[in-house]
């Protein structure tokens, strides 16, 4: 029973992923794409979590954390890039 539910969840997540991918490809502006990418990261967290239940292993919990951090860092980086045109500023006076 739980198995079927998990699989249905995965299918739904995959559909969501496809939708996000469509936005990523189409996405009229860059911020659209970045947000799609961020959402994809969150989706990935869910997929990894469900997969680790399905595969009956706790080894992927690290990955869930990592994806969360990376999605955050990536989105921030993109945001900064879009805002300022560069990610890491350096101080000229240094």
Chain positions contacting other proteins, by CB under 8 A: 7, 10-11, 14, 17-18, 21, 24-25, 30, 33-34, 37, 40-41, 44, 47-48, 51-52, 55, 57, 59-60, 62-63, 66-67, 70, 73-74, 77-78, 81, 85-87, 90
Decide whether 1 or 59 has the Cβ nearer to other proteins. Answer: 59
Angle at CA of residue 12, ends 8 and 13, nearest 5°: 115
89/91 Cα distance (integer angstroms): 7
15-50 burial, b for 16+ CB within 10 Å, e for fewer? ebbeebeebbeebeeeeebbbbbbbbbebbbbbbbb
Q: How far is the CB of 28 from other proteins (least distance, A)?
A: 11
Q: How far is the CB of 33 from other proteins (least distance, A)?
A: 5
Decide whether 5 or 7 has the Cβ nearer to other proteins. Answer: 7
């Amino acid at each position: 029973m739980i198995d079927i539910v998990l699989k249905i969840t995965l299918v739904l997540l995959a559909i969501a992923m496809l939708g996000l991918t469509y936005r990523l490809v189409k996405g009229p502006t860059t911020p659209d794409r970045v947000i799609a990418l961020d959402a994809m990261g969150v989706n990935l967290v869910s997929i990894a979590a469900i997969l680790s239940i399905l595969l009956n292993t706790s080894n992927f919990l690290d990955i869930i954390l990592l994806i969360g951090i990376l999605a955050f860092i990536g989105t921030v980086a993109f945001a900064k890039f879009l805002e300022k045109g560069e990610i890491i500023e350096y101080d000229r006076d240094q």
